[in-house]
Amino acid sequence: MASSPSFHMYSLPTCIMCLCVLIETTSGQLSANFYGSSCPNFSSIISSAVNSAVSNEARMGASLLRLHFHDCFVNGCDASVLLDDSANFTGEKTAGPNNNSLRGFDVIDTIKSQLENSCPGVVSCADMLAAAARDSVVALGGPSWNLTFGRRDSTTASLSAANSNIPAPTLNLSGLITSFSNQGFTTNEMVALSGSHTIGQARCTVFRARIYNETNINSSLATSLRANCPSSGGDNNLSPLDVVSPTSFDNAYFSNLLNQNGLLHSDQELFNNGSTDAQVRTYSSNAATFSTDFANAMVKMSNLNPLTGSSGEVRTNCRRTN
């Protein structure tokens, strides 16, 4: 992935240099070159840290992607998901979809520390999450996409919004369509984004009901999963969301659905005699189409209601406000 272009301005008077940096870093609009002068190495710092984390543990790629998703679905892409509880608010980390589930906070801490050493107080945590999500997908063999930057970080969080806005793994197709529509996504974009489950793992407690109670699941898969997920106990035992290639970002997730090998109830709902069956078939046979649609949907997600300009801050520590 190419780094953001650097603006070489050494021949200009110092006062003009400062003015250009000020304009670039305080603009109320997102732009591809937002950090071109103020932190020209920010992209390479993030990608290097992500590559290292994913190399150490492939699952971390899915975890960083999920952090971005769970951030943007709660009042926009503002890094609220990273905030710890404070005297003024309860953070989102203990919400039902996040508690004992979200991971990667330590990787974000590492990236933030490196950025603060390189360009203090410049790169927002929200922009870091957007870039880390993309770089995680690329590190696992998936597509890249062009991002714009300039998001600011929120100074509060919403436990209630995290509990209500993030789609549950128990949703049926109608519920999934509604949940994503509430964020401005079409049904086609919802299916494309669901393809992120081609990487990562899920806890037993999330899919136990499916493997013991549902009939539209491959019997061999159900038998295999029950060995790792007993009818009681073992709630935190893990199984891959994609049983074929869990550490590669590819289109195998959709082929799994054709064979009733979806791990989550919400996964299999995408191919269950419904309106999205045809799109699942297309993605299962055409990886390039899936990659293109996924990348486009991720661009849209990264731009959900960002804070810009004076509407937010640039946290020096992603876990707390300044």
Active site residues per annotation:
70
Residue 109 labelled as part of a binding site: no
Residue 76 labelled as part of a binding site: yes
Residue 80 labelled as part of a binding site: yes
Cβ burial of 72 (10 Å; 0-12, 13-18, 19+) is buried
Structure tokens given for 90: 């309860």
Cβ burial of 16 (10 Å; 0-12, 13-18, 19+) is exposed
Residue 242 labelled as part of a binding site: yes
Residue 50 labelled as part of a binding site: no
Residue 198 labelled as part of a binding site: yes
Residue 91 labelled as part of a binding site: no
Residues present in the chain in total: 322
Cβ burial of 308 (10 Å; 0-12, 13-18, 19+) is middle
Residue 135 labelled as part of a binding site: no
Residue 74 labelled as part of a binding site: yes
Residue 189 CB: number of other CB atoms within 10 A? 20
Amino acid letter for position 160 = S
Beta strands in the chain (DSSP E): 201-203, 238-240
Residue 250 labelled as part of a binding site: yes
Amino acid letter for position 126 = A
Residue 127 labelled as part of a binding site: no
Cβ partners under 8 Å of residue 263, min gap 6: 197, 202, 207, 210, 225, 239, 240, 241, 242, 243
- Residues at the annotated binding site for Ca(2+)? 71, 74, 76, 78, 80, 92, 198, 242, 250
- Residues at the annotated binding site for substrate? 167
- Residues at the annotated binding site for heme b? 197
